[in-house]
Amino acid sequence: MTILVAGGTGLAGSAIVRELERVNKKVIGISSKDVDLLDRAKTFSFIKDLKPNLIIDAAAKVGGVGSNNAYPVEFLSQNLQIQSNLMDAAHEAKVEKFVFLGSSCIYPRNCAQPIKEDYLLTGELEQTNSAYAVAKIAGIELIKSYRKEYGHAWISVMPTNLYGPNDNFDLENSHVLPALIRKFVEAKRNYSPEVVLWGSGTPLREFLHVDDLAKAILICVEKYDDSQQINIGSGDEISIKDLGQKIANLTGFTGKVVWDANRPDGTPRKVLDSTKINKLGWKRAITLDQGIASTVKWYQENK
């Protein structure tokens, strides 16, 4: 069995590749250096030649609140192209299984918490990342459509906020947790008296280490076969302010933390209901403290 992981050098993809290798599966991880998934003809040719039995689509244009808000055209257009090219190519090559990775931002901005899969399309999206969310919702619908029209055993999984090794630590377009790690590590290294963080610090989030996600993906491949997306979350909820303090403590930063209220907060609260994946026998193994500590260590050693 040949497994292709698209986006195999990114945060989620690299963790999935590591887990597949750990359990002795034949896996091929690709990035844009191997094949440009925005190029439809090249994508079709690559998938046809490789003939994988399973494709795990972790390829996407991703970023934090700032970059999502600033570049909606790129986030909508590029993600639509990547996922449709890959799914259409998989269909033509008769790929048996396909796993599409979405994002928890697909859910309405102000829906009930914790967020159940049924809450999709029941309210307005968070405007700072609505373009990215719409692209991911389209991906879910394309998976459903292929299942309905052709009977494919393809599924969509919706992970919560991810972090871990191989994350993007760029301050202009990264997600909140890696951005905080970089800011506090550099502040400690440079003896800075203060660190300025975005927003009010009041939004509530949950975070999941990518190694836990990778294990959940493998369980879904074996045990889940439904048209509805399945949530994958840690269940651990924390405010951004408390997260900042936790990372400050773990990096040894003892200066002042200043919150820039002129920067956007994003969705006020976002925690997933992960009952479905828990019933399949999965639950997060890496605590937030353990995960942040190991990610800080990875960042210091690799960046």
pLDDT per position as a tens digit, 13-30: 999 999 999 999 999 999
pLDDT score, position 171:
85
Question: Between helices 130-150 and 72-92, what is the axis angle to 10°?
Answer: 20
CA distances from 197 to 79, 116, 129, 207, 262 (A): 28, 30, 19, 18, 10
Cα distance between residue 166 and residue 177, in whole Å: 13
Q: What is the mean pLDDT of residues 54-82?
A: 93
For residue 49, what are its two tokens? 């030649």
Write the CB contacts of 191 (distance below 8 Å, at least 6 apart in sequence): none
CA-closest candidate to residue 133, choices 110, 156, 103: 103
Rounded to whole angstroms, the Cα distance separating 176 from 197 reads 9
Residues 6 or more apart from 27 whose CB is under 8 A from it? 2, 3, 4, 5, 17, 20, 21
Point out the least confidently predicted range of 6-20, 140-154, 171-185.
171-185
In angstroms, rounded to a whole number, what is the distance separating the alpha carbons of residues 184 and 295?
A: 13
pLDDT at res. 63: 84
Residue 42 near residue 35 (C-beta atoms within 8 A): yes
pLDDT in tens, 113-143: 999 999 999 999 999 999 999 999 999 999 9
CATH architecture of 2-167+207-234+270-286: 3-Layer(aba) Sandwich (3.40)
- SS3 for 102? coil
Least confident of 37-41, 65-69, 177-181: 65-69
Instruction: Look at residues 296, 70, 281 and name the one whose alpha carbon lies nearest to residue 186.
Output: 296
Cα torsion angle, 117, 95, 18, 166, sign: negative
Catalytic residue among 107, 119, 132, 146: 132
pLDDT at 66: 79
Range in 57-66, 111-120, 192-201, 234-243 with the lowest mean pLDDT: 57-66
132 counts as catalytic: yes
- Can you spell out the DSSP letters for 151-166? --EEEEEEE-EEESTT
Answering whether pTM is above 0.85, one says yes
